[in-house]
Chains A and B, each alone.
Chain A
Amino acid sequence: SQELEQSPQSLIVQEGKNLTINCTSSKTLYGLYWYKQKYGEGLIFLMMLQKGGEEKSHEKITAKLDEKKQQSSLHITASQPSHAGIYLCGADQNTGNQFYFGTGTSLTVIP
């Protein structure tokens, strides 16, 4: 089965600082997804990456998938308190009927 390891496990940053969250897979990724979760709530889809070397941005959040398609990073520029939450990477198997999540990264942004 697919295993996704995220680092760091938790992050506390001052408002305005940049930060990076990493997601490493034990297998080649066919699709890598990033989600954000407010504590105890459902997940909100952020971005999907499929091609090696692909990079996508949405507002101040940028995600990249490395050429070998086994690692992805999520970068937040000039963090704000609204960015606080749990960030989860996810991947589906090529069959499309199973989905795996990473261990999660808890982000706290101090005003």
Chain B
Amino acid sequence: ETGVTQSPTHLIKTRGQQVTLRCSSQSGHNTVSWYQQALGQGPQFIFQYYREEENGRGNFPPRFSGLQFPNYSSELNVNALELDDSALYLCASSRPREAETQYFGPGTRLLVL
């Protein structure tokens, strides 16, 4: 098991609601990336945080936002939830520019009804 933890493990929300997902990083890792994995598909890169700032972003709308804290843990916030937001949300921590050190958390499964 990696040292990356995510909470909650499962979540059910309704359309229009807001959700916050949390991720704690592996010791020594100061970069956190978030991914959305729909059923039967590969993970899609949402964004990356480094030194508490967004350091790269995939093709996701602004209602997907994030934070990174001084202890390198991170939050993913999604506003105005849509049915298509139902997915497994994965976070990964790593050292900067060292994708091979990406350690993934177990994920948060979000269901939007």
Contacts and interface: CB of A to CB of B under 8 A. Distances in A.
**Which of A6, A33, A92 has most B Cβ within 10 Å?**
A92
B55 A97 contact: yes
A92 B94 CA distance: 13
Interface in A56-111: 88, 90, 92, 95-104
A40 B59 contact: no
B45 to A, nearest CB: 5
B107 interface: yes
Contacts of B41: 103-104
B4 interface: yes
Interface of B is mostly: strand
Interface residues of B, number: 31
Given A43-B43, A43-B90, A99 B107 contact: no
A51 to B, nearest CB: 14
B30 interface: no
A100 B45 contact: yes
Interface string A28-72: 000101000000111111001000000000000000000000000
A43 B90 CA distance: 9
A104 B35 CA distance: 15
A40 B58 contact: no
B86 interface: no
A33 B99 contact: yes
A101 B58 CA distance: 12
Contact of B107 (A40, A98, A100): A40
Interface string B43-84: 111001010000111110000000000000000000000000
Contacts of B103: 45
Given A1-B59, A31-B99, A95-B56, A103 B42 contact: yes
Contact of A102 (B33, B42, B48, B56): B42
Given A42-B4, A98-B48, A88 B102 contact: no
Interface of A: 1, 4, 6, 31, 33, 40-45, 48, 88, 90, 92, 95-104
